[in-house]
Amino acid sequence: MPQTPHHGSGPSASRPLAGLTAIVTGAGRGLGRAEALELAALGANLVVNDYGQPGRDGSGEASAAPAEEVAAEIRASGGRALAHLGDVADFAVARELVGLAVSTYGRLDILVNNAGILRDRMVFSMTEDEWDSVIRVHLKGHFNTTRFAAAHWRDRAKAAGAPVYGRIVNTSSEAFLAGSAGQPNYAAAKGGIVGLTTSTANALAKYGVTANAICPRARTRMTQDVFGAAADTGGGTPDPLAPEHVAPLVGYLASPAAGGVDGQLFVVHGGMVAVVERPRVAAVFDTAKEMFGYEELDGLLTPYYAGRPPGESFAAPEILTLGHRA
């Protein structure tokens, strides 16, 4: 069994992450910020990563970088947190980030990959830079941090001669599941993240590490052009697309209670969590000869698809209709 952390009499139900150390990337605003605050509230020590640099406010006064503001907010609430300003899509920066967590808190236990950007455009209009930048930040950024966290956990497990505690939560998207037409770069990156997640889950299970992916729907600075501003519902009703609806699932997946949850994909937003089933084989065709030819495939596949619903494909746009059932 994976080793559990030692911190006094053990974690309470309200602070299941007490004594654990977490990295959250892209945590200066939006989803990452909500996730970092959630993990801190559950007891974790935080390294808050974001690419944003210090700036100046409306009066011209110097202002802290977003990651520094989130770390300060956690410390003001009695938690332990420090900021890391850097681009996790840079291999060396990701190594530095994981090293900072280990040198500051003694070890790393939880990695939440959230950093990302959008460069939306139809595939026939997309530039090379719009493709490369999104793949770099999302997919390579997830790989970079995972690579160094995984090496840390493998080394610890080998030194201990037993599994250790490790949790990875990666951020995919419904754009991958539904085949979002205006986001070929983003959908490809998010699909790649699911592949990275399941591969990592299989590779690290023997070391006590789990890896799962979430597809969150949230109103953030990155998605403001997609979802627009929150509607005024009145009466203090929470925005169903608030990032705070997503953060508790991340907290759960990072916890000891989720030790049996591995290689899974979830859709989460607005008071709803959906477990996405793995792909299943719909039909199998065998050649009657030594190998297929055009005519035989035409005779088998053409009538098969003629009997399928028009427009049905591997994409699952019905995912976009999921919502909280009050």
Whole-number pLDDT of residue 223: 47
Whole-number pLDDT of residue 286: 98
Whole-number pLDDT of residue 105: 98
Whole-number pLDDT of residue 6: 37
Whole-number pLDDT of residue 52: 75
Contact 208, 157 (CB under 8 A): yes
The CA distance from 321 to 174, in Å, is 11
Binned average pLDDT, 10 residues per bin, the chain of 326 residues: 40 84 96 97 98 64 86 98 98 98 98 95 98 98 98 98 98 95 97 98 98 87 51 61 93 98 96 94 97 98 94 91 82
The CA distance from 303 to 308, in Å, is 9
Positions annotated as catalytic residues are 173, 186, 190
The helix (H) or strand (E) run that includes residue 83 is: strand 81-85
Joined together, the tokens standing for residue 200 give 């990592």
Whole-number pLDDT of residue 57: 55
Residues in CB range of 46: below 8 A, 6 or more apart: 21, 22, 23, 24, 36, 39, 40, 71, 74, 79, 80, 81, 82
Whole-number pLDDT of residue 147: 98
